[in-house]
Amino acid sequence: MYDALVTIDEQNVAHSTFTTYSYETDCYTDARLAFYFQIIQEAAGAHAASRGYSLPEMNKEGKTWVITRIRMEVFRYTHWPEVLKVETWAQDPIRLHIPRVVRAFDTEGNLIFIAKTHWAILDLERNRPCRPKDMSFRIGIPPKDDSEHSLDMHLENNHHGEDADLHQLTVHSPRITYLDTDRNQHVNNISYLSWALESLPSSFRNRLKVAEVDVSYLRQTFLEDTIVVYTESKDPDALKKDEPLLHHRIIRKETDGTETLVWVGSTRWKAREDLR
């Protein structure tokens, strides 16, 4: 997937390339949305590592990176063996978050997706977020006069349908496996997305692909946890429509019988043919 060492230009923008391998595509040979989420994770990690702040190096400081929000717009899904040219950069901190943009283009310069993400730095001992200003300085951000790399990263709160009457469409109870966990010993961010998509019937996913996705990571989950995925919509017939908006939430069932909301997201879908 990841093809070359990252290069960083004079604007503090990191550049890398990724190949759409066959195992990153679905049964229609369209790239999986999870592949694009993997690119976000890898591009951000490579940029940070090139500045000396990989996860192992952060751990030596008693800290770690965590992602808290991803909002992505997809313009097209690639196919094997297409190459994506990816650029990413950090921006000025917003409260306790470091915003980061990830954009992917095809070899002809057409935009494939753009993602706005928020990251936090956690103190491992206290499990509390650290103030990010020093880290954004260490990684580097584009200069103030670089308008192309100065996006509005104040993402408004997406209630994911909480303020509306929603109809339950699906309930899914995935089992957390060893491969879902990462270096931080918690579930990797991509697994939450995969669980939400796996909750949907194949007939629906055969017709449609995600065009917009907005997800928030609220709590960490671990290998031994019990979780349930709920997918809902304002429209009780959403799974039969051509451009539905779905809302997803993942809850953890606690040993005392209570439930904890750990992840929420919304996905807007379009016909496969419109995203090729």
Within 8 A by CB and 6+ apart from 141, the residues are 12, 89, 90, 91, 92
Taking residues 182-196, report their average pLDDT.
88
Is residue 162, in this structure, part of any structural domain at all? Answer: no
200-234 pLDDT, tens digit per residue, is 999 999 999 999 999 999 998 999 999 999 999 99
Q: What pLDDT is recorded for position 236?
A: 97
Q: Are strands 83-90 and 14-19 parallel, antiparallel or unpaired?
A: antiparallel
Taking residues 51-80, report their average pLDDT.
90
Q: Which residues pair with 65 in a beta bridge?
A: 121
Within 8 A by CB and 6+ apart from 3, the residues are 16, 17, 18, 19, 83
Rounded CA separation 129/20 (Å): 35
Is residue 161, in this structure, part of any structural domain at all? Answer: no
Question: Domain count of the chain?
Answer: 2
Cis link prior to 81 (omega < 30° from 0)?
A: yes
Is residue 160, in this structure, part of any structural domain at all? Answer: no
Are residue 121 and residue 243 in the same domain, yes or no?
Answer: no
Q: What pLDDT is recorded for position 3?
A: 63
Taking residues 55-81, report their average pLDDT.
91
Classified as helix, coil or strand, 237 is coil
Q: What pLDDT is recorded for position 139?
A: 86
Is residue 2, in this structure, part of any structural domain at all? Answer: no
Q: What pLDDT is recorded for position 136?
A: 73
Give, to the nearest 10 degrees, the angle between helix 33-50 and helix 189-198: 180
Is residue 198, in this structure, part of any structural domain at all? Answer: yes
Phi, psi for 158 (deg, rounded to 5): -95, 115
Are residue 62 and residue 127 in the same domain, yes or no?
Answer: yes
Query: For the chain, what percent of residues have pLDDT higher than 90?
Result: 71
Is residue 24, in this structure, part of any structural domain at all? Answer: yes
Are residue 15 and residue 140 in the same domain, yes or no?
Answer: yes
Taking residues 145-168, report their average pLDDT.
85
Are residue 124 and residue 249 in the same domain, yes or no?
Answer: no
Is residue 253, in this structure, part of any structural domain at all? Answer: yes
Q: Which residues span the domain enclosing 44?
A: 7-149
- Given 149, 180, 195, the domain boundary residue is 149
Q: What pLDDT is recorded for position 2?
A: 59
Q: What CATH number does residue 266 fall under?
A: 3.10.129.10
Classified as helix, coil or strand, 239 is helix
Q: What pLDDT is recorded for position 256?
A: 95
45-60 pLDDT, tens digit per residue, is 999 888 888 888 888 8
Residue 272 pLDDT grade (very low, low, confident, very high; cuts 50, 70, 90): very high
Are residue 77 and residue 115 in the same domain, yes or no?
Answer: yes
Position 91 pLDDT exceeds 80: yes
Position 193 pLDDT exceeds 90: yes
Q: What pLDDT is recorded for position 52?
A: 83
Are residue 66 and residue 94 in the same domain, yes or no?
Answer: yes
Are residue 21 and residue 142 in the same domain, yes or no?
Answer: yes
Are residue 127 and residue 205 in the same domain, yes or no?
Answer: no
Are residue 195 and residue 70 in the same domain, yes or no?
Answer: no
